[in-house]
Amino acid sequence: MSQAKKSPRKHRRIVLKFGSQTLTRTNARGLDLKQFARLSAEVAALIRDGYQCVTVTSGAVAAGTSVLALQQRPSDLATAQASAAIGQSKLMRAYETAFGRYKLNVAQLLLTHSDLDSRRRRANAGNTLERLLAEGNVVPIINENDSVATEELTFGDNDRLSAEVATLAGADLLIILTQVDGLLDADGKVIPLVRDIDKVKKLANGNTGKFSRGGMISKLDAVKMAVDAGITPVIINGRRPERIPDVIAGKNVGTRFLPKSPARR
């Protein structure tokens, strides 16, 4: 496990977004519990060092497909929602077990974009989030309420939600963990720093995995939302969670996007 305490304390509130392919077994259905253990170890280290961490998660549909014996993500809405309803409890159980090893509790928040578009419901969600973070030993786990959402299921692998949550929380940093090392240039090399998101969006493609619905296009849309809100987004490989402290330390890991102005709390 990495030593988060060696990192400078520039970023105090962090949103970490775990995509479906970060949480599921490679080339297989179901959740990768060893990966949950690795991710929770890094988040727990950050919390011990005084950082406030919020997790935006995908994976409910992917977890449910194994129960329904599906070979890929359902294309019809009803089956996708059924998979999410089945998989959400499995997803939270995995988080509860993983974080429980560090005497951390988890709190489930299921949101839709309409919740965040409503001023009153957005304020309620923000108040709940602040109260949970004030506890110090609670990790908010936020997912879209896929079992009742409609349009939200096509928005991407919770990428946009992660940016909305980062804005709601007044986060300083948004770390998007995905299946690639970062945004790649035309030669397949990672671009370490992006100053203008609009100039690199043409490099993205919409490739997704069998059990995910995102892709780099949706991630860059989320990045755009974050930088406009003054939040620093970083895209890294979710299979290397030990690099999270390096991201916080400002090291050359993944792709970092410069915000337009400091985040407002």
Q: What is the pLDDT along the chain (265 residues), one digit of tens a residue?
A: 544 444 444 569 999 999 998 999 876 578 999 999 999 999 999 999 999 999 999 999 889 988 888 888 888 888 888 999 999 999 999 999 999 999 999 999 999 878 888 999 999 999 999 999 999 999 999 999 877 776 544 555 689 999 999 999 999 999 999 999 999 988 889 999 999 998 888 776 555 454 445 468 889 999 999 999 999 999 999 999 999 999 999 999 999 999 987 655 5
Q: Where exactly are the structural domains of the chain?
A: 4-257
Q: Indicate the pTM of the whole model.
A: 0.89
Instruction: Locate the DSSP E strands across 166-244.
Output: 173-178, 193-194, 232-237
Q: What angle do CA 14, 18, 20 make, to 5 degrees?
A: 170
What is the homologous superfamily of the domain 4-257 according to CATH?
Acetylglutamate kinase-like (3.40.1160.10)
Q: Which strands sit side by side in the sheet containing 52-57, from one edge to the other?
A: 105-111, 138-144, 52-57, 13-18, 173-178, 232-237, 255-257, 193-194
Instruction: Note whether 264 and 207 are within 8 A (CB).
Output: no
Among 197, 133, 141, 216, residue whose Cα is nearest residue 170: 133
